[in-house]
Amino acid sequence: MEQVSFKIRPTVLFVFHNSDFYSGATRSLLDIIDKYLEEETVNVVVLFSKREGTAIDYLNNKKVKIIYSFYTELVASINQSSLKKMIAFPYRFGRMLISMFSIYRLKNLIRELKVDAVYTNTSVIFVGGFINKFFKIPHIWHFREFRREDQQIDFFFREKYFYKFANKYTDKIIVLSQSMLTKYKENIQNEKLKTIYNDISPSYINPKKTFDLNKPKIQILITGTLSEGKGQLEALQAMKVLLSRGYDLTLNIAGSTNCEYYKILKDYIMTHNIGENVVFHGLRKDMNELRSQMDIGLISSKSEAFGRVTVEGMLSSLAMVGRDSAGTSELIKNKETGLLYEPGSIESLVESLEYLCNSRSEIKRIATNGFNYAVDNFTLGKCSDSILKMVLEVTREPKYI
């Protein structure tokens, strides 16, 4: 993509929803910021609600201007009972008011920094909308989740008010995939919506030097938060069938085990006696190293907004197998850059994995195709370039030539 040319670098305030470097949404924003810092195209200012965290450490090391203010996620589980929602409402409403008051107190600092635009990362925080409301600064809001379909959450004040707020206090809204666009265009002004696929840092480019197609045991990796929506149980059910058919496999599960869903997975493993073929790696910081030991990457998420781990797997030369739904369907071209299986069908997943087990050369072919596709489409900074152009469009006095 042709680099944007402008006379004066815009100052953008980037609002983070958390300070965890290993959170997918946070990593995606850091990849964008890294490109702006490298090319010196944006004056970067970042806002956090906490003063500690691995993302803060990362940005401090890069000498980025960091400011702090209290704010909170304004969402509630859609699975929570009406009674619990009613009891929690005063607490949530109070925290929203405190968040608004805290953001308003940044008025002088925001003026001093001469912020041209504000960018909000994820749809669970409303900070950029508050800044737009109070100070009339253009706001770009990056939706990174379906909300109800993938996270089982929505605005605690009811869904229709979320859309009303987004339409009124946002200049542009970014979604990660065409499937997200289809959902949100029903309630968001269409001229505000734009689909932009994520950038992935070139540091994730991790090609295999050789493919060991004759190894006795195939290594499969599934990565992500342990939860029903991410589909680890579906992966275990497929493993049970494959092991009963005599295949020699190991399912490697990467993701924090500090959750209730871990117990559900462990109970299933014990009940069906497949523990020797399942390894929990916990939250790994060296994912390139772990992926280099794997052959197949598995994506069983029910509703993936984009599928960052799909692309990361491709960049490590894994043959990716994904559930044919939402963002995953847009990233994997069946039998070319990966394999797609029918949503909710264990047998379809088993067939996809059997295909690779029985045709080892296909692991190499599909992995190589996926690697090339991912490098060409997700590591060249297209997302950050598109967002910069968007910033220059919404700024009241455009600085581009």
C-alpha to C-alpha distance for 383 and 390, rounded to whole angstroms:
11
Assigned domain for 2 exists:
no
Return the pLDDT at 1.
47
Say whether both 15 and 145 belong to one domain.
yes
Return the pLDDT at 7.
52
How many domains, the chain? Answer: 2
C-alpha to C-alpha distance for 295 and 287, rounded to whole angstroms:
14
C-alpha to C-alpha distance for 29 and 122, rounded to whole angstroms:
10
C-alpha to C-alpha distance for 105 and 69, rounded to whole angstroms:
9
Say whether both 386 and 339 belong to one domain.
no
Assigned domain for 90 exists:
yes
Assigned domain for 4 exists:
no
Strands 153-155 vs 75-77: parallel, antiparallel or unpaired: antiparallel
Say whether both 222 and 356 belong to one domain.
yes
Residue whose C-alpha is closest to residue 366's, from 326, 341, 333: 333
Say whether both 224 and 181 belong to one domain.
no
CA distances from 317 to 22, 256, 363, 371, 395 (A): 21, 24, 9, 5, 41
C-alpha to C-alpha distance for 226 and 68, rounded to whole angstroms:
30
Say whether both 238 and 290 belong to one domain.
yes
Asked if 128 contacts 141 with a C-beta cutoff of 8 angstroms, the reply is yes
Domain of 274?
202-378
Assigned domain for 401 exists:
no
Say whether both 39 and 153 belong to one domain.
yes
The CATH code of the domain that includes 334 is: 3.40.50.2000
Say whether both 267 and 296 belong to one domain.
yes
Say whether both 220 and 191 belong to one domain.
no
Return the pLDDT at 401.
32
Task: Show Cβ contacts of residue 149 under 8 Å, excluding neighbours closer than 6 positions.
Answer: 183, 302, 303, 326
Assigned domain for 399 exists:
no
Say whether both 134 and 25 belong to one domain.
yes
Task: Show Cβ contacts of residue 49 under 8 Å, excluding neighbours closer than 6 positions.
Answer: 16, 19, 68, 69, 70, 71, 72
Say whether both 134 and 220 belong to one domain.
no
Return the pLDDT at 396.
61
Q: Mind listing the pLDDT tens digit of every residue in the chain (401 residues)?
A: 445 555 579 999 999 999 999 888 999 999 999 999 999 999 999 999 999 999 999 999 999 999 999 999 999 888 889 899 899 999 999 999 999 999 999 999 999 999 999 999 999 999 999 999 999 999 999 999 998 887 778 888 888 999 999 999 999 999 999 999 999 999 999 999 999 999 999 999 999 989 998 899 999 999 998 999 899 999 999 999 999 999 999 999 999 999 999 999 999 999 999 999 999 999 998 999 999 999 999 999 998 888 899 999 999 999 999 999 999 999 999 999 999 999 999 999 999 999 999 999 999 999 999 999 999 999 988 999 999 999 999 986 544 43
Say whether both 117 and 195 belong to one domain.
yes
Assigned domain for 400 exists:
no
Say whether both 58 and 29 belong to one domain.
yes
Assigned domain for 161 exists:
yes
CA distances from 28 to 154, 328, 330, 385 (A): 22, 17, 18, 14
Assigned domain for 3 exists:
no
